[in-house]
Amino acid sequence: MTFTDTLLLAFRNLRQSRLRTSLTTLGVAIGIASLAGMVSLGVGLQEQVVGRLTQSGVFDSITVTSGRANIPGMGGMGLGRVAGRGGRGGRGNATPAPPAAPLDDAAVARFAALSHVRDAYPTLRIPMSYTFDGRTNAALAAGIPESSRGEGAFQTITHGAFFPDATSPSLMLSLDMAQQLNADAPGSLVGQTLELSYADSASNAAGTPEFVAGVQVTRVSRPFTIVGIVERDPAPGASLGLSAIMIPLEQARAINARAIANPQAFLQGAAPQTRRYTAVTVRVTSAANTQDVQDQIKAMGFTAFSLNDALQGAKRAFLLLDILLALVGSVALAVSSLGIVNTMVMSILERTREIGIMKAIGGSDRDVRGIFLVEAATIGLIGGVAGIVLGWGVGRLINIGANIYIERQGGTAGDLFSLPWWLILGAMVFALLVSLVAGSFPARRAARLDPIQALRHE
Amino acid sequence: MGGTIVKALDDLSLDVADGEFLALVGTSGSGKSTLLNLIGGLDQPSAGSLEVQGRDLARMSRDELSLHRRNTVGMIFQSFNLVPSMTAVENVALSLMFAGVPRAERDQRASALLETMGLGGRQRHRPKELSGGEQQRVAVARALANQPPLLLADEPTGNLDSRTSCEIMDLVRTLNERDGKTVILVTHDAALAAAYARRTVTLLDGNVISDTGAVLERA
């Protein structure tokens, strides 16, 4: 018998017991819907979490520090994980590790020359004080490179705009900071001037000379124009410290070049032009390249760290969640597979005589088995398609409800359920496999029926 | 059944020649139907051998038996055994379907066969819309669909009135005489056997007690 004829007979059998077929198919649909819905929820949640993190630029940036275990200066603050990495490098001292390379402008240029690197710049956090409305407070000013324009935290600027150019004395404030300065209308700060004071190692006519640890330090004050206010933390990864004030990287470089930010380097007599940085940020073109670039930088003798490791961990955790959700969803499918077995056994009982006739006129075991397997597979396939549609629909409804709740709680609405093509395909294949397994026992029973007894069956 | 071995046929030996019209007669339980089912490949002997066209059915696999039922024998039954949900033409085409005949060809062949059975206008009817005689003629058409050399009939007139019985038996005789089909007819009706069969074998408790053909040969 040809496969087309098997289909023909199977479909005609299914048509003849329409009610039973549809009920069984509905059972499979509910099973698949619950399975696909659960996995879809897991995938959706993962995309929500990982997607937001990826968008924030956390995973395409690498923080490079010098190979030495102890990082002096301000770069050390909050860099616990980096220090931990350094500690590991320190342990590596027992076996000769690559010599610590100086983290200077030459190193930055080498990082920038690596393939898949979009930008490399020193991570500068400069201690400053600012004066506004006659009050003076301390803050860290972060140097923000031009390459950050329109990216990550700067995709949306709450008030105002990004720096007009790479060098102008302009600044952006975090929304928190802006609210501290003007709680009622932080937006009105845009266009105003903020006086920033910082330490300068050379004497300046405008500054007041002081002595710090026997070194002449001048306090310099300069007006900066507030151009923008940013809501999100612009320094992804809290380990780098929150930056209340952001100034163009070139401004930060110039200030840093003259500051005593690294007393150790200063005491070693390093000239300002070979000044070493405590940390350098390397941005790669996509998160997929992070690991590769990170390894290359490590090979140069630096300590490199990215949140990519954490992302891998998060992905593993989500995989576990997916498996757990899939197991819960499978319970309904297991029940519906029993429904298939039941339907097929009933169908065989009803059609025993017909099976006898088919065998008497030359139908082989394989022909009979094929008919019943195709019947089960058809129930599985239609149930699979209906289940995907059902699962998608229910997911949409839950999503709408959940988003109303989330927005009422002040959160950002998003898709809690995600239905990627592999899930659709996988659910269909799974539905087919489950129905084939469920149908194989009844089909085998039908195939082995004794024709004489089957013909006597009423 | 139930652990007890029932010997339906015991120490039975029978030769049937090509083109014969043989009747197996006997009371119920004599083993005549069992013998027919064995020849038809619906059952397999627990011992001994049974050769049809030189091939031993006792040693055939399940697949080989299904091929035997498909191509070598055509069976008709007392209760017709048509698939109730299928039309006359579909019932006939079903056996061609198992033989792998393409759809257009099998429909055409089934239709032509029904035509020769005098059922030209009844092709789209389902069994319950047909009279007993018509149903049995559909069954005969189905039995002939794969052009088997052997036609096995198990009480084919058991559910028919006498006039229809004659029509069916005339049809079977024509198939034997005109088309050269070997016919084995199982019946409890000795008169029917005598009227149509050229050789009658009488069974009792699984043994041959008389064989008119054998008598003729000896004579």
Residue B30 contacts residue B205 (beta carbons within 8 Å): yes
Q: Which residues from A are below 8 Å from B143, CB to CB? A: 361
Model confidence at B141, pLDDT cuts 50, 70, 90, reads very high
Q: Mean pLDDT across chain B, nearest whole number?
A: 89
Chain B contacts to A (CB-CB under 8 A)? 37, 40, 42-43, 62-63, 66-67, 69-71, 75, 77, 81-83, 85, 94-95, 97-100, 102-103, 142-143, 146
Say which residue the tokens 């319970």 belong to.
A331
DSSP letters for A32-85? HHHHHHHHHHHHHHHHHHHHHHHHTTSTTEEEEE-SSS---SGGGTT-HHHHHH
Query: What is the pLDDT confidence band of residue B4, given thresholds at 50, 70 and 90?
Result: low
Three-state SS at A59: coil
Report the distance separating Cα A69 and Cα A82, nearest Å.
Answer: 9
The DSSP letter of residue A169 is S
Tokens of A66: 């010098």
Residue of A345, A426, A379, A429 whose CA lies nearest to A24: A379
A444 burial via Cβ count (<10 Å: 0-12, 13-18, 19+): middle
Percent of chain A with pLDDT over 90: 25
Share of chain B above pLDDT 90, in %: 71
Q: What is the rounded distance in angstroms from the CA atom of residue A294 to the CA atom of residue A307? A: 11
Residue A193's DSSP bridge partners are: A225
Backbone φ and ψ for A271, nearest 5 degrees, come out as: -70, 150
Threshold 0.80, pTM exceeds = no
Beta bridge partners of B25: B187, B202
Chain A to chain B, count of Cβ pairs less than 8 Å apart?
A: 66
A446 vs chain B: nearest CA distance in angstroms? 14
* pLDDT of the residue at A276: 75
Give the gap in angstroms from C-alpha B104 to the nearest C-alpha of chain A. 12
Least confident segment among A228-242, A272-286, A361-375, B98-112: A228-242
pLDDT tens digit sequence for A247-273: 888 888 888 877 754 555 556 555 544
Other Cβ atoms within 10 Å of B1 Cβ, number:
5
Q: Tokens representing A69?
A: 């275990």
Q: Which two tokens stand for residue A331?
A: 């319970």
Give the pLDDT confidence of A360-382 residue by residue, as tens digits: 999 999 999 999 999 999 999 99
Report the complex ipTM.
0.92
Residue A232 pLDDT more than 70? no
A100 pLDDT band (50/70/90 cuts)? low
A317-333 per-position pLDDT tens digit: 888 888 898 898 888 88
Q: How far apart are CA A282 and CA A290, in angstroms?
A: 9
**DSSP state letters, A205-259:** TTSEEEEETTEEEEEEEEEEEEEEEESS-SSSSGGG---SEEEEHHHHHHHHHHS
What's the pLDDT tens digit per position in B54-74? 889 999 999 999 999 999 999
- Cβ distance B42 to A360 less than 8 Å, yes or no, reads yes
Closest-approach residue (CA) in chain B for A370: B98
Q: How far apart are CA A328 and CA A317, in angstroms?
A: 17
* B43, B66, B97 member nearest A5 (Cβ): B97
Q: Give the model confidence (pLDDT) of A287-326 as tens digits.
A: 778 888 888 888 888 888 887 777 777 778 888 888 898 8
Report the residue of A12, A17, A361, A453 to disrupt the B interface, i.e. the one with the largest count of B CBs within 10 Å.
A361
pLDDT, tens digit (0-9, with 9 covering 90-100), for A114-143: 888 888 888 888 888 888 877 888 888 888
Question: In the structure encoding, which two tokens stand for residue A401, read together?
Answer: 């409800």
Residue that has been written with the tokens 């004829």 in this structure: A5
Q: B193 is written with which tokens?
A: 């056997």
Three-state secondary structure call for residue B201: strand
The partner residue sitting opposite B98, judged by closest CB among A4, A363, A452, is A363
Interface mutation target, options B1, B42, B57, chain A, most CBs of A under 10 Å: B42
Burial of residue B155 (CB within 10 Å: 0-12, 13-18, 19+) is buried
Q: How far is CA A29 from the centre of its chain?
A: 31
Give the span between the Cα atoms of B97 and A1, in whole angstroms: 6
